């Protein structure tokens, strides 16, 4: 799909916020209100615009974010073991 500069400005504005009026969006994109409305409908019908969503603030809703992370280091541990086995002088207590 070929996008004009006005199309790009319109899509950029819509990605930031879908709540402005058609007139405000048209001004931001540099096109008439009718052209803006038509382009938005075309973007929706073609699937360029899939849906409009609301981004919720989890902290304002009282949610806390907890992360649990597990890392497997089998390769590194194996390599270190082989290295230490090959270099006895590196083992603890053999200085």
| Contacts for 13 with CB less than 8 Å, ≥ 6 apart | 20, 25, 28, 29
DSSP 90: G
Say how far apart CA 45 and CA 38 lie, in whole Å. Answer: 11
Q: Sorting pLDDT into bands at 50, 70 and 90, what band is 85?
A: confident
Q: What would the pLDDT profile of 21-47 be if each residue is shown by its tens digit?
A: 999 999 999 999 999 999 999 999 999
pLDDT at 94 over 60: no
pLDDT (0 to 100) of residue 81: 76
| Contacts for 14 with CB less than 8 Å, ≥ 6 apart | 25, 40, 49
* Domains assigned to the chain: 5-46 (1.10.10.10)
Q: Chain centroid to CA 13: how far?
A: 17
Q: What's the predicted TM-score (pTM) here?
A: 0.62
Q: What would the pLDDT profile of 52-72 be if each residue is shown by its tens digit?
A: 999 999 889 998 877 877 776
């Amino acid at each position: 799909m070929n996008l004009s500069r006005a199309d790009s400005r319109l899509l950029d504005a819509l990605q930031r916020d879908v709540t402005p009026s058609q007139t405000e969006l048209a001004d931001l994109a540099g096109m008439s209100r009718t052209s803006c409305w038509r382009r938005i409908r075309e973007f929706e019908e073609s699937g360029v615009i899939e849906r409009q969503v609301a981004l919720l603030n989890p902290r304002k809703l009282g949610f806390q974010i907890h992360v649990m992370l597990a890392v497997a280091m089998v390769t590194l541990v194996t390599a270190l073991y082989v290295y230490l086995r090959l270099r006895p002088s590196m083992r603890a207590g053999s200085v």
